[in-house]
């Protein structure tokens, strides 16, 4: 599954957390997005597991997510 998030801050550094010193604040837009809703070319562009990245084919991804959301509701 994928999780779609919006980056809401610039890069931050803080020693107050033992686990993560380098971070950005994010807003979770949608969790548990099934990989199977995307065509193979989009899944290939998403590649292997990464933490934060800019999606290739953003317009197509958003169309699929929007259609899938309205189709289920």
Whether residue 69 is predicted with pLDDT greater than 60 in this model: the reply is no
Q: Mean per-residue pLDDT for 44-52?
A: 65
Alpha-carbon distance of 46 to 33, in angstroms, equals: 13
Of the pLDDT bands very low, low, confident and very high (cuts 50, 70, 90), residue 18 is confident
Tally of CA atoms within 13 A in the half-sphere of 35 that contains its CB: 10
pTM (global) more than 0.75: no
């Amino acid at each position: 599954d994928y999780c779609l998030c919006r980056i809401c801050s610039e890069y931050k550094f803080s020693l107050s957390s033992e686990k993560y010193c380098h971070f950005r604040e994010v807003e979770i837009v949608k969790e548990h997005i099934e990989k199977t809703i995307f065509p193979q070319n989009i899944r290939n562009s998403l590649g292997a597991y990464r933490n934060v990245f800019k999606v290739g084919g953003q317009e197509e991804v958003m169309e699929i997510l929007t259609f899938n959301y309205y189709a289920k509701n």
